Amino acid sequence: MKERSDLHEGRLLAVYLNDHLTGANAGVSLIRRMVRHHRGSPMEPQLERLAAQIAEDRDSLREVMTALDIPAMHARTVLGRIGEMASRLKLNGRLVSRSPLSDVIELEAMRLGVEGKAALWRSLQSIATTDARLDRSCIDRLLERAQRQAGLLESLRTAASDRVFAPAVRRTQTRVLAESAPGGKVA
């Protein structure tokens, strides 16, 4: 009975790690596309560093999978790539061109992905306490880096959100103030 339980747990870990690998592949594609879009902008250097780190993190996940003797499920990779391409078809208020809202949505997606990656590293920390095939200090460093990445993505997301939504909020506030003024006329 023990062998069957171990086999089941190994299969669950394989599915879990492959799901994260699929997400990592999609994240690398998305961050690279964001870098291309922001060429020459103040965001480019930060996004380039993030893209390099996120690709390294994906490679680290592959190394973990190799150490644990878990093969990559290539069909999942293909499905993940299709999903990432389909996400480009989102309704962003524009039919053919990129919307300012795209930055906010993409940064939010990257932030969520990095938070998921941090959860992965925390799970692997637990495994590393009993499995000598994993280097606990390496996983600790990957978790710390994911936390820094999440902080940077949040600051970029906040700035993008302010650029997109703050002008609309100011216009709404101005309209409300004008309507509440004597005579209720909007300027």
At 9-38, the pLDDT tens digits run 789 999 999 999 999 999 999 999 999 999
Write down the mean pLDDT value for the chain: 84
Domains of the chain from N-terminus onward: 2-180 (1.20.1260)
Which pLDDT score, from 0 to 100, does residue 99 have? 80
As a whole-number percent, the residues of the chain with pLDDT over 70 amount to 72
Q: Please, are residues 90 and 35 in contact by the beta-carbon 8 Å criterion?
A: no
Rounded distance between C-alpha atoms, residue 3 and residue 11, angstroms: 12
For 37, the token pair is 């879009």
At 140-178, the pLDDT tens digits run 999 999 999 999 999 999 999 999 998 755 555 555 455
* Residue 30: Cβ within 10 Å count: 20
* Minimum mean pLDDT range among 2-6, 23-27, 118-122: 2-6
Rounded distance between C-alpha atoms, residue 183 and residue 86, angstroms: 50
Which pLDDT score, from 0 to 100, does residue 132 have? 96
Which pLDDT score, from 0 to 100, does residue 166 have? 84
Rounded distance between C-alpha atoms, residue 38 and residue 106, angstroms: 12
Rounded distance between C-alpha atoms, residue 32 and residue 53, angstroms: 11
Which pLDDT score, from 0 to 100, does residue 1 have? 45
- As a dihedral over the C-alpha atoms of residue 162, residue 167, residue 168, residue 170, rounded to 10 degrees, the angle is 110
